[in-house]
Amino acid sequence: MKYKLIPLIDLDKETQLQVLGIRNEEYIREWMFTGDKINAEDHLAWIERLKNDKSQIYLIITNREDQPVGAVNIKNIDKANKIAELGFYKSQKIEEKGLLTKSLSTVIDYSFNSLGLEKIYSEAFEGNTKSLAIHKRLLFTEEGFMRLHKIKEGKRIGVHLFGLLKDEWKTEKEKINIRKDIIMEIKNV
């Protein structure tokens, strides 16, 4: 199985709009921090702004047919402190098990080895069991839990904070069960 990670800004407009279709899937909106439904005009205008935004690299996972299936965003890139935050999602129509685990491990390798980062961090809503599981699988440490920190569907909800250090990743990553039959290539970054 071959997949690519391609910057969203490098995709054609039709594919960029397909990405919007995934981003607007109900399950994904349920667990994202900005869960509003986004319209095409706002989406394309935001992509225009992304072109000049050095603080993030928004990568789209595409399959062998060049169809988008998910995304991994390296955001809040802070070169001075050598840290960045990860955001990610996968279309609910995709049944490939372990695809996001593989995609994130590729992006983590890239962040540490090519971007020169030394720590990656991430946040997840309380109750997002799939996200908690993927952070655990990828060796993140839970560094905190902010109680009743956000409002989700009118109710206050907690937020888990995760962190992963470059040294931990280097020494432990061989122990993770990452799909070897998924080939992932990062393009144009």
Which amino acid, residue 69?
Answer: V
Site string for ligand COA, 19-48 (x = CB under 6 A): --------xx--xx----------------
In degrees and rounded to multiples of 5, residue 36 shows phi and psi of -65, 150
Interaction of residue 177 with ligand COA, rule CB under 6 A: yes
**Cβ-based nearer residue to ligand COA, 178 or 189:** 178
Q: Single out the residue of 2, 130, 136, 187 in contact with ligand COA (rule: CB under 6 A).
A: 130
Distances (CA, A) of 160 to 27, 28, 101, 123, 135: 19, 17, 19, 6, 10
Options 8-16, 36-44, 164-172, 174-182: segment touching ligand COA (CB under 6 A) = 174-182
User: Smallest gap, in angstroms, from Cβ of residue 114 to ligand COA?
Assistant: 22
Angle at CA 32, nearest 5°, toward 126 and 186?
115
Interaction of residue 52 with ligand COA, rule CB under 6 A: no
**Cβ-based nearer residue to ligand COA, 1 or 79:** 1
Interaction of residue 178 with ligand COA, rule CB under 6 A: yes
d(CA 150, CA 159): 7
User: Smallest gap, in angstroms, from Cβ of residue 32 to ligand COA?
Assistant: 6
Q: Alpha helix locations (H) across 24-165?
A: 26-31, 40-50, 99-113, 129-137
Mutual orientation of helices 13-23 and 40-50 as an angle, nearest 10°? 110
User: Smallest gap, in angstroms, from Cβ of residue 88 to ligand COA?
Assistant: 5
Interaction of residue 58 with ligand COA, rule CB under 6 A: no
* Residue 172 CB contacts under 8 Å (≥ 6 apart), including other chains: 139
Q: Single out the residue of 73, 101, 105, 106 in contact with ligand COA (rule: CB under 6 A).
A: 101
Which residues are registered as beta bridge partners of 186? Answer: 5
Interaction of residue 73 with ligand COA, rule CB under 6 A: no
